[in-house]
Amino acid sequence: MARERRIWRYPRSFREMAVKQMKESKNITALARELRVPRSLLYKWHGQLEPVDDGNGLQTNLVERDLRKEVAELKRLLGEKTLELDFFRGALQKVEARRRSGEGSGGKASTTKSGE
């Protein structure tokens, strides 16, 4: 029988306390043992909660930085779709204008019957 893996949910206050202790601790392995959490999880929390410079002079955490990147990408895609929509609206207006100008003439179509 396969060993089940338990997923523990830790409250934000606990994670923040652990990250604060990480900054003050000289031995992260011992801290992880004391808190009874995997050492890798401490580093993950550190990356999620600790501010980092995003290159634009803003201090954000990694999650925030990833969300900002996603928002920027979505804005870019929205801009592209807006340009496409404007193009097709303009093309549709031109087609409709040509149809209207051709309807009122009452003349025959410019094509001839085959064999004539």
Tell me the pLDDT of the chain averaged across its residues.
81
pLDDT reading at 1 higher than 50: no
> Do residues 44 and 10 make contact, with C-beta atoms less than 8 angstroms apart?
no
User: How much is the pLDDT for 64?
Assistant: 72
CA distance 28 to 45: 13
Instruction: Give the mean pLDDT of 63-70.
Output: 78
Closest CA to 74 of 64, 86, 85, 82: 82
Tokens encoding 92:
């549709």
Instruction: Give the mean pLDDT of 90-114.
Output: 77
> Alpha carbon of 5 to those of 1, 2, 31, 43: distances in Å?
12, 9, 22, 20
Least confident of 22-31, 38-47, 62-71: 62-71
58 phi, psi to nearest 5 deg: -100, 140
